[in-house]
Amino acid sequence: MPRFCTLDDLDVAGKRVLVRADLNVPVRDGKVTDTTRIERLAPTLAAIVERGGKPIVMSHFGRPKGPDPSQSLRPIVEPLSRAAGGRPVRFASDCVGPEAKRVVALLRPGEIALLENLRFHPGEEKNDPEFARQLAALGDVYVDDAFSAAHRAHASIAALAHLLPAAAGKNMQAELDALGAALENPTRPVIALVGGAKVSTKLDLLQFIIGKVDRLAIGGAMANTFLYAQGRPVGRSLCEQNLADTARAILSRAQERGCEIILPEDAVTAEKLEPGVVTRTIGVNAVPATAMILDIGPQSAERICQALEASKTLVWNGPVGAFETPPFDRGTIAIAKKVAELTRAGRLMSVAGGGDTVAALAAAGVTDDLTYVSTAGGAFLEWLEGRELPGVAALAAP
Ligand code: 3PG
Ligand code: MG
């Protein structure tokens, strides 16, 4: 990862500070249902205000095709103000042009501006230099605090960073530090735990990660593809049979690289995926033709827990079972609790990310016990694929 400028390298006193945030938070009936991303922005806003700068917050929200009142950032005004310790937040109903300029000009010390959804303008997603110039006209310096949007080469993330003195905000910095500590300069042995439904969506990730970690535990429906590739019966389980060759190639490459692969040995199966259905726990060589594998079994969970005990660093993306539907949450919860216990005891540095993983950690009640939980979904995945993220590249120090 290149060295990047941080907020501490930037003189913000008396300046208008354009802050790219990711306020793409879940909203239901006009209410924010998870404020994590808003709260993670607070340290950056506090640092700017305390140093005499005026934060002008901008973000995308949803995926609107042009202006769309149902995708407005207005419902974020109140939670943003609360997260910022009650500081007043002035809302601009457009992110560029006269309305944005008017609100920015009215800002008094200690106040925060919030601009309307960047994606109401097509120039945002096109990384349009002219749109970036319109944004740049609103500020003197630029801070990117949106790691979770860093995989998007959009105007407020890429083009804009080259028009003003630019730096990483506190949240971006924390994400990059945690991710760097997990894969770039980790304390070994390192274990990766990868779950989720499909091998096809995580191929690049698997290829990259086997060259980086000492152990890789695979769970979730994607493990079925590997079991199938080894000639085991998977019944009616979700399985990408067309990827059997790819799965075998990953296994042999892992062996060449000295990366131990941990696959399920037993499984919790059922005839259908429904809460409270009759389940059967069996070895992976005995899955009946009519059954579906819906969670790892207790032996497999124990094996992963032992591997965690023997590791110093963990990177985790993806649940190991259909955790939204109990009782198929047991494997994921058992592992989450083990990770929490080892982290609390100072024996494991644990980094997790991705929407489902974060939800699983919350369900297990252990979110705060991990070393770092990323708020990023797609950006976390692309980082695990070893890709350069445009939003990070744009902040690289000269
Ligand atoms: C996210 O929620 O993952 C980010 O805000 C990126 O959103 P996008 O996938 O709509 O670009
Ligand atoms: Mg997304």
How distant, in Å, are the alpha carbons of 191, 265, 279, 290, 306 from that of 302? Answer: 15, 10, 19, 26, 6
Q: pLDDT for 225-265, tens place per residue?
A: 999 999 999 999 999 999 999 999 999 999 999 999 999 99
Tell me which ligand sits closest to the C-alpha of residue 149: 1
* 148 Cα to the center of ligand 1, angstroms: 7
Per-residue b/e over 174-183, b at no fewer than 16 CB within 10 Å? bbbebbebbb
| Rounded Cα–Cα distance for residues 192 and 95 (Å) | 40
User: Rounded to 5 degrees, what angle do the CA atoms 381, 386, 336 make?
Assistant: 45
Residue of 60, 124, 127 with the most ligand 1 atoms within 8 Å of its CB, for mutation: 60
Note the pTM of the prediction, 2 decimals. Answer: 0.91
- HSE of 297, CA atoms in CB hemisphere, 13 A: 20
**pLDDT over threshold 80, residue 3:** no
- Tell me which residue of 73, 221, 236 sits closest to 156, measured CA to CA: 73
Supply the DSSP symbol for 60: -
Tell me which ligand sits closest to the C-alpha of residue 21: 1
Bridge partner residues of 52 (DSSP): none
Q: Which of 15, 16, 20, 37 is catalytic?
A: 37
Q: Which atom of ligand 1 is nearest to the CA of 379?
A: 3
* 22 Cα to the center of ligand 1, angstroms: 8
Task: Give φ, ψ of 304 to 5 degrees.
Answer: -65, -40
Q: pLDDT for 29-69, tens place per residue?
A: 889 988 999 999 999 999 999 999 999 999 999 999 999 99
Which residues lie with the beta carbon below 6 Å from any ligand 1 atom? Answer: 22, 24, 63, 148-149, 152, 377-378
Q: pLDDT for 312-356, tens place per residue?
A: 999 999 999 999 999 999 999 999 999 999 999 999 999 999 888
* 398 Cα to the center of ligand 2, angstroms: 30
Burial class, 143, CB count within 10 angstroms (exposed 0-12 / middle 13-18 / buried 19+): buried
Tell me which ligand sits closest to the C-alpha of residue 376: 1
285 band by pLDDT with thresholds 50, 70 and 90: very high
Q: Which of 85, 211, 355, 365 is catalytic?
A: 355
Q: Is 355 a catalytic residue?
A: yes
Q: Are 377 and 354 in contact (CB under 8 A)?
A: yes
Q: Which atom of ligand 1 is nearest to the CA of 377?
A: 3
